[in-house]
Amino acid sequence: MTDKTTDNKTTGAKDGEKSLTIAEIASFCKSTGMVFPNSEIYGGFAGFWDYGPRGVEIKNAIKREWWKTFVQERDDIVGIDGTTITHPKVWIASGHVESFSDPLLECEKCKQRTRADHLIEDTLKISTDGISLDEVNKLVRKHNMKCPSCGGALLDARKFNLMFKTHVGPVETDSSVAYLRPETAQVIFADFRQVADISRLKLPFGIAQIGRAYRNEISPRDFLFRSREFEQMEIEYFVHPDKTGECSYLTKDILMQKVRIYTEVAQQESTDDCVMTFKEAMDESIIKNPWLAYFLSQQYNWFVNLGIKEENLRLRQHREEELAHYAKGCFDIEYKFPFGWKEIHGMADRSAFDLTQHMAYSKKDLSIFDEETKKKVIPCVAAEPSQGVDRAFLAFIIDAYTKEEERTVLKLSSELAPLKVGVFPLMKKDGLKEKAEEVHNGLKKYMVSFFDVAGSIGKRYARMDEIGCPYCVTIDYDTLEKDDITLRDRDSTKQVRVPIADLKITLLKLLSKEITFGDAGKSI
C-alpha cells in the first residue's frame, strides 16, 4: 500500500475559506428551482422532496446516462421495470419483514424517538456502521447520553423495521397487508426466470432496474441524502456458481487503475485510507471477487466521467461485522460530503442467497440450464451495483457548486446540465428579439434551449451560470449584418463569434466533447 491520504472523517475548507454546508446546498437547490420540500404549503413532510423544473432535468439526465452506460451500450445486461408493491411473501423470503431495521432509542420522558447510531455518531464523532443493540446500550450508558429533545433518560435500544405497510383490496385485514418496496433488487429476483428465458442470455449476464423505493427512516436528514422516498439504480449480475473467480472483462487497464481505498484493517486500526491499484487490492485479498473489482471500476469511472473530482471519491471495504446477512463481501463508493465521507454507491457479492430463498418460499424452480456444462445451476450474484439517484444528484450538485467573486456557477458536465444553451437578444427592439426567437426555434429541436429577454444580458448570463447551462448565445446588432452570433462559455466566460449556419453543429460538437471551446469560433 502506498500514497497515504488523510482527513477520513470530515470535509474541511481550504485555509481562509468557509466550509460548504448541506443547508447551503438545500437553500441553493430551492432557490434555483431544483428541489423543493414536499407539501411546503402545509409545513412540509419530513423525508420527502419534490424536484422542480431544473432538478427534474438533471435527475432524468443522471438516470439516462446510467441506463445508457450500463444497459443500452452492453450486450450482457437487460432491463426491467417492476412494481413498487409486490406479493408480501417476496419480503418474507428476502428477510426484510424480519430483519430490515435500524436501532431506535426512545425517551422515557417525552417519548421522542431517535435513531441510535446517528445519535452516537453525532455525540461521539465515531463510525457506527454495523453496530449491535448491545453496543448501542453500552455506549449510551457509558457516556450518559440523554434525549436530544428534552434531556430525559433513554430506554434500551430496540429494532425498528423500516418497511412501509399498506393494504391491498377493499378490506383491511392481516391477510391484506402488503409493503412498499424498500429496495428494487427483490423484484429482479422474483422475475429472474422469466427475464432469463425471454432474453436468451447466457451466463454471465445482468438484470438492471431504475425505480422508486421507500423506507420509513427514523431520522431523515441531510437533505436528499437520507429520505423516505427515493430512487435506485441497480444491477444484479448473475454468474455461474463455479466461475465466480473468473472475469474476462477485468483488463490490464482496470487492474492498474489507482483508487483510494479505506480498508477493513485501516478502519479497525483507525488509520487512513490509501491509494492502490485494483490489482494490489486483489493481491492483498482486500477485494476477493474479480467481478466486484470490475464493477467497482466501472461505477467509479461513471462518476468521474460525469464530473465528480477523484479527490472526493474513495472505496470503503465493509467490515465483517457490518456485512449484510446475504453478503460474502461488500464495498461502498463514498463521496466527501460536507457532513463527511458517506456512501453514494454500494457493491455486494450476494452469492446465491436470494434465488435460493425465493425457490424455498415459492416452491418454484429458478435454476437455469447451462449449455456449456449441460447442467441446471442456480446462478450467483457475483456483483450487485446499487446506488441512489438522489444521492448521486446531491453529489453532482455539491461537486459542481462553485462560488466565485462575482457569481455562483454550477459547473455540471454537459451531459447533466438541465439546459444546454440559453439564447438571448441583446435588446428587445430593432428586430433582435425576433432574430433570437428564430435561432432558439432552430436549436430546440436538437437540444434543450432556453429563450430569455428579462433583465440585462449580464443578469441573464448569471442566471444560466447558476443552474449549470454550459453555453449562451447572444443576438446583437452585428448578427443582423453578418448573420453570426456571440457564443459564451460558462466556465471560462470566454466568448467567440460563430456563424448562425454553423451554430447547431458547433454546439452539438461542444456538448459531445468533440471539440473544445477554443475551436468553436473566432475569439472576441
Q: Apex CA 381: angle with CA 243 and CA 83, to 5°? A: 150
CA distances from 436 to 107, 239, 289, 365, 494 (A): 63, 55, 56, 63, 20
Q: Is the dihedral of CA 87, 92, 94, 97 positive or negative?
A: positive
181-203 burial: b if 16+ Cβ within 10 Å, else e: bbbbbbbbbbbbbebbeeeebeb
Contacts of 79 (CB under 8 A, 6+ apart): 67, 71, 207, 208, 209, 210
DSSP lists the bridge partners of residue 262 as 316
Asked if residue 287 and residue 428 are part of one domain, the reply reads: no
pLDDT in tens, the chain (524 residues): 334 333 433 333 443 445 899 999 999 999 999 999 999 999 999 999 999 999 999 999 999 999 999 999 999 999 999 999 999 999 999 999 999 999 999 999 999 999 999 999 999 999 898 899 999 999 999 999 999 999 999 999 999 999 999 999 999 999 999 999 999 999 999 999 999 999 999 999 999 999 999 999 999 999 999 999 999 999 999 999 999 999 999 999 999 999 999 999 999 999 999 999 999 999 999 999 999 999 999 999 999 999 999 999 999 999 988 887 777 889 999 999 999 999 999 999 999 999 999 999 999 999 999 888 888 999 999 999 999 999 999 999 999 999 999 999 999 999 999 999 999 999 999 999 999 999 999 999 999 999 999 999 999 999 999 999 999 999 999 999 999 999 999 999 999 999 999 999 999 999 999 999 999 989 88
Asked if residue 79 and residue 106 are part of one domain, the reply reads: no
Here the cell at position 308 is 465528480
Query: What is the enclosing helix (H) or strand (E) of 104?
Result: strand 101-106
d(CA 209, CA 317): 25
| Assigned domain for 21 exists | yes
d(CA 488, CA 497): 9
CATH at residue 321: 3.30.930.10
Asked if residue 167 and residue 156 are part of one domain, the reply reads: no
Here the cell at position 349 is 457479492
Judging by DSSP bridges, how do beta strands 258-262 and 313-317 pair with one another? Answer: parallel
Domain count, the chain: 3
**Domain range spanning residue 137?**
101-161
| Assigned domain for 231 exists | yes
DSSP lists the bridge partners of residue 4 as 274
Asked if residue 284 and residue 274 are part of one domain, the reply reads: yes
| Assigned domain for 69 exists | yes
User: Are 65 and 195 in contact, with CB atoms under 8 Å apart?
Assistant: no
Asked if residue 395 and residue 306 are part of one domain, the reply reads: yes
Asked if residue 167 and residue 148 are part of one domain, the reply reads: no
Here the cell at position 504 is 447547431
d(CA 261, CA 383): 18
Q: What is the pLDDT of residue 18?
A: 59
d(CA 227, CA 84): 17
What is the dihedral angle through the alpha carbons of 144, 150, 154, 158, rounded to the nearest 10 degrees?
-130
Q: Percentage helix, strand, coil, to 5, in the chain?
A: 35, 25, 40
